[in-house]
Amino acid sequence: MRFAAILISIAAFLAPCASAQTAEEVGREILTAYKNRDLEGVKRHLPPVLAMTVDKTFFKDKAIKSEVVGLRRWDGKVREVRYFATKAGVTASVYYDEDADPAKVRTFNLNKAGNTWKQALGSFLVLEKEKFAAYEGKEPPVRAAARKTPAAAPAIVQGAPQDSPNKGYVIEMADGTVVKDPTVSQLQKAFEALGEENFFITLNAPDGFITASRSGAAYDIEYKDEQGQFAAIDEMSADQAMDLFSAYIKREKTWKAKAKWRPFD
């Protein structure tokens, strides 16, 4: 039932909205929520599957703390919004402040889904002014964006399954891919599809989830179960991460022993 609710919420999130906000409006609301440490305000503009993982410890994260401190001097104004297309769709780059380096600007990324803008993972960025200026001044139509991006890799759901489906599990990826009851082979293909843009994968289970975020050639791993949420102390290679996910989906009792864990904070 929990996953049915997740899929319904994702469908609602993707559905067109008659009174959709602009990227500038959404960006301003999100930045204000971070500045004021407004947890519900942050969650409101996260994709549902990510919003579920956000709790009262969110603002204790070192990276988040750093951004909140940086927003103390923000005057609440959005300087400019520019757009670019990726394989996942259209992204809005919200320029909200100057950087200490006069050749750079501080930006915040939003992803478009349907008529709705949602916070992208790794949203806070410092960009060269030239790179920001090279983005488009107007939001490209979805079809135009699709033409500008490379053809997507074959869907991981294609082809006859090589092993049994794992009932109650759901794969979700940064590019919007969702695979229900995946096989281990499909999980392997999902890992092979990860890259700079499609950079995270979450494997939802009936009693929790495990997620991997790619950073260069390494992966940061987190999981959540009835005992709480935990993060791997050390980064993992692609092979190590896949081995861990494979053990997780196979319900191996010793899967946690494949890494050292600390409470997520």
Tens-place pLDDT, residues 165-198: 899 999 988 777 888 889 998 999 888 888 877 7
pLDDT above 80: residue 134: yes
Can you tell me the mean pLDDT for 84-107? 86
Do 182 and 97 lie in one domain? The reply is no
Do 142 and 174 lie in one domain? The reply is no
- Whether residue 81 lies inside any domain: the answer is yes
Do 57 and 175 lie in one domain? The reply is no
Residues 210, 244 contacting (CB under 8 angstroms): yes
Do 6 and 117 lie in one domain? The reply is yes
- Whether residue 161 lies inside any domain: the answer is no
Token pair of 149, please?
A: 């991006």
| DSSP β-ladder status, 208-215 and 200-205 | antiparallel
Which own/partner contact pairs does 180-183 have at CB distance under 8 Å and 24+ positions apart?
180/3, 180/7, 182/249
Do 185 and 228 lie in one domain? The reply is yes
Task: Give the separation between CA 42 and CA 54, rounded to whole angstroms.
Answer: 9
Do 21 and 141 lie in one domain? The reply is yes
Do 127 and 217 lie in one domain? The reply is no
Task: Give the separation between CA 235 and CA 119, rounded to whole angstroms.
Answer: 25
**Residue 230 lies in domain:** 170-253
- Whether residue 187 lies inside any domain: the answer is yes
Angle between helices 238-249 and 184-192 (to 10 degrees): 150
Do 180 and 245 lie in one domain? The reply is yes
As a whole-number percent, the residues of the chain with pLDDT over 90 amount to 37
Do 72 and 175 lie in one domain? The reply is no
pLDDT above 90: residue 23: yes
pLDDT in tens, 225-241: 988 889 999 999 999 99
Do 11 and 130 lie in one domain? The reply is yes
Task: Collect all residues with Cβ–Cβ distance below 8 Å to 75 and sequence separation of at least 6.
Answer: none
Do 108 and 179 lie in one domain? The reply is no
* Tokens 């990826």 -> residue: 173
Poorest-pLDDT segment among 18-27, 163-172, 235-244: 18-27
Number of domains in the chain: 2
User: Which has more pLDDT, 145 or 260?
Assistant: 260
Q: In what order do the strands lie in the sheet with 200-205?
A: 178-180, 170-173, 200-205, 208-215, 218-225, 228-232, 261-263
As a whole-number percent, the residues of the chain with pLDDT over 70 amount to 82
User: Which has more pLDDT, 87 or 139?
Assistant: 139
Do 135 and 17 lie in one domain? The reply is yes
